[in-house]
Chains A and B, each alone.
Chain A
């Protein structure tokens, strides 16, 4: 949940990477940690279990510097995607300001993407938030696997599956290579800060 300190002109907001298990949320964060060293404020904390699966969350604090006269801080989180960690997932989502939904392009994960989006919708609803209104971006991850001849879904199909009603910005990506990771985050930040501006009018005119 965004925290404002209007006197000191500081904002802190929370962005959560959501998506089915193994879709590449943690890999997104790891890339950001490496590639945006200057903006990273401290360490990345990951709480994992066997096989590098996220057990609780990953956490990466960032400091974006001054935007419209305000010091902007961002907390990036990933949720555990595996189905059985539903209560933790919900807890990590609490207080979210913007969402990056990472979808797995592998054909075998088609249904899992949709189920995870439904799970997100339900969890947001339980917090009194509407999936159609919260700042959100889609990332179609693992596009690189096409080069290895793996069966992945065409972007159009994923748009139809996941974005026909949401109509949010979407980006292809390859988190292992870092492709699309930056723009996804930037677009999400842009939307999140814009939405917070509408709600709280923080920017200096």
Chain B
């Protein structure tokens, strides 16, 4: 047992040193349970005290990470770099759009002051005027300054920088975000004209149905209510997967009647785990062979 504890502690220390704090915590918890549940350990209380110190330190790490600023002030040099690295339109062919993309990148990285400077300049570029104006409003709102945003809008409404159609669009846009405000957490910034970007990057797409190697089903009713059961997939045809269920597993068979909808399924594919839903579409008892008596169950994948 002390060997096991030692190994778990080593793991916990390593995970912590790599910043895998949740994983570290889990191991510490496990050690705590082991120690608490044992009556053979001679210096039990001392061990537990040491452990709780470690867990406290870990909690402090977590706290520091959680309250770290998400938008650091960056040097002018880095701001220039971001503008350069994240403007994708050609500077020669479409300078305006290229500059807009750079400014949007700054805003997305939380550099609102720098972004505002760029957007203000872009108000002078006719083709970018409306996008620039929208983003200026967004930036002020993201900085929590509704007053300035509203003032700017009013100024544009009265002035002649924008034509009336643009002003109308801008006003609708502004009302819309004000309404949504408080709902979105991450700063959302108006994309540069999507067409140019997608034309360049669009290649043909191909839908391939992924191989599912296993599923984990969480049941919301029946004998397995609240539990997650992992099962291997034995066969797949398109979006129907087949699983074998042992005849001994009566409770599971009970839970997986034909027609039952499974709303919480993890589909394990080689590419990734997908969360989705499925429908039990068939259940047949195997009549011969090594799995005789067991059940073959079909699940139709309804959504991934």
The reply to whether B205 and A108 form a contact with Cβ atoms under 8 Å apart is no
The reply to whether B200 and A1 form a contact with Cβ atoms under 8 Å apart is yes
B37 part of interface (Cβ distance < 8 Å): no
The reply to whether A165 and B81 form a contact with Cβ atoms under 8 Å apart is no
The minimal Cβ–Cβ distance linking A105 to chain B, given in whole angstroms, is: 12
Q: Note all chain B residues with C-beta closer than 8 A to A49.
A: 65, 68-70, 72
**CA A119 to CA B274, docked complex, whole Å:** 10
Known: A22-B18, A50-B64. A91 touches B270 (CB 8 A): no
Q: Contact mask A116-135 → B, CB, 8 Å, 1/0?
A: 01110100010111111100
Known: A49-B68, A115-B273, A165-B210. A133 touches B203 (CB 8 A): yes
Query: Which residues B235-274 have CB closer than 8 A to chain A?
Result: 268-274
Q: For the side of the interface on A, what is the size category?
A: 35 or more
**CA A162 to CA B201, docked complex, whole Å:** 26
The reply to whether A165 and B19 form a contact with Cβ atoms under 8 Å apart is no
The reply to whether A47 and B203 form a contact with Cβ atoms under 8 Å apart is no
Q: Contact mask B40-81 → A, CB, 8 Å, 1/0?
A: 000000000000000000000100110011101010001001
Query: Which residues B189-207 have CB closer than 8 A to chain A?
Result: 198, 200-203, 205-206
User: Would you list the 9 A-B pairs with minimal beta carbon distance, nearest first?
Assistant: A118-B272, A164-B270, A50-B68, A128-B202, A108-B23, A165-B270, A49-B68, A114-B272, A50-B65
Q: Which residues of B come within 8 Å of A, CB atoms?
A: 7, 10-11, 14-15, 18-20, 23, 26, 61, 64-65, 68-70, 72, 74, 78, 81, 85-86, 88, 105, 108-109, 186, 198, 200-203, 205-206, 208, 210-211, 213, 268-274
Closest Cβ neighbor of A133 among chain B residues: B203
Q: Note all chain A residues with C-beta closer than 8 A to B15.
A: 106, 108
